Amino acid sequence: MRAIESSEFFTVGKDGVKAILTPDDRKIDLIQFEDKTLCCVKSGLGYPAIYPLRETRFEPKAEAILMDLDGTSVHSEQFWMWVIEQTTARLLGKSDFKREQEDEPFISGHSVSEHLQYMIDKYCPGGALAEARKYYFEIVNHEMAEIMAGCGKQDAFTPAPHLKEFLLTLKKEGVKIGLVTSGLYEKAMPEIVSAFRQLDMGDPVDFYDSIITAGQALRPGQTGTLGELEPKPHPWLYAEVAKVGLNMPFERRHKVIGVEDSSAGVVSIRLAGFSCIGVSGGNIDKAGIGELCDYRAEGLMEILDIIL
C-alpha cells in the first residue's frame, strides 16, 4: 500500500490522523490513528462507509470456515468478467469490444452495479446504469439457462482443484462451513450447483451449514433484497454467515477463519473481524491488498495445514 496525504474524509495531521494508506485498486483507504485504524470503503455508487479495522488472531483448530465462491470454490471469474465485457459491448453498440487487462481488479469481487459503473465511467461516459443492468441480466439469464441445460459456455464453472476432498475433510473434522458470495442468488446458485453436480456431491444447500448470497436482483416488476450497496468489501455478508448462519459468537471469532482470492473479499473478512487466508489465482496482489491477509495458500489443501 502507498501513503497519501488526504482522503475524502480525513487528512494526515488533522483530528489525530497519523497516516493514510491506500492499495493499488484505490477501493479503500486505511486511516491510522494512535490507538486504532479505520477503513473507508469507497463506492462507485455514491455510498461510502467507514468501519473499524480490528486486529485479528486465529487459533486452530477452526470451529468454522467462511468460504468464498467465485475463484476460491469455483473458478468462474473469467466468465463473469466476460459477461461484463459483453454488457459493455451492447452499451457501445460494438460487438467486437474488448476490455483492457488493467480493468480486472475493478470488475471482479465487488457488486454487479459497481462493476458496471466502472465500465460505464471508463468506456461509456454518460451511460445509464439501469440500461447496463438490463443488458447484463438479459445475458446472464440466457447463459444460465444454456448452462443448466447442458450447453452454453462449457468452461464457465469449474470446481477448484481438490474442492471435494477439502470440503469432505472439513466435514469429517466437524468444522462448520459457510459459503459466501457477493453474487446475486440467480447467478451464484447455478455455479455451486454445477460444481456439485460435477463432483457428485448432491445438493449444496444440504451440504453447507450456511450459504449467503447478495440476495435477489431488484428489477422492474419484481421485488429485490439489499444486495448492490452492501456486499464485499463491506463486512455484512461474512458477518451474517458467521453470526446468523453458523451461530458463531463474536467473542469466539479467533476460532473462525475466512478464505478468499479477491481483494474485496479479503477486506470484507477483515472488517467482519476474522482472520483471512488469501489463496492464489485472484486479484489480491494485483489490487495491492496482500498485506491484509493473515495467511497465504496456493491451493485448498494447504489451508488444512493452517486451520486443523
Count of C-beta atoms within a 10 Å radius of residue 97 = 16
- What was the pLDDT predicted at 221? 86
pLDDT in tens, 181-207: 988 888 888 889 889 989 999 999 999
Give the residue-averaged pLDDT of 23-44.
Answer: 95
pLDDT band at 154 (very low <50, low <70, confident <90, very high): low
* Greater pLDDT, 271 or 105: 271
When pLDDT is cut at 50, 70 and 90, the band that residue 77 belongs to is confident
- Residue-wise pLDDT for 100-122, tens only, equals 999 988 888 778 888 999 999 99
pLDDT of amino acid 283 = 92
Which pLDDT score, from 0 to 100, does residue 131 have? 95
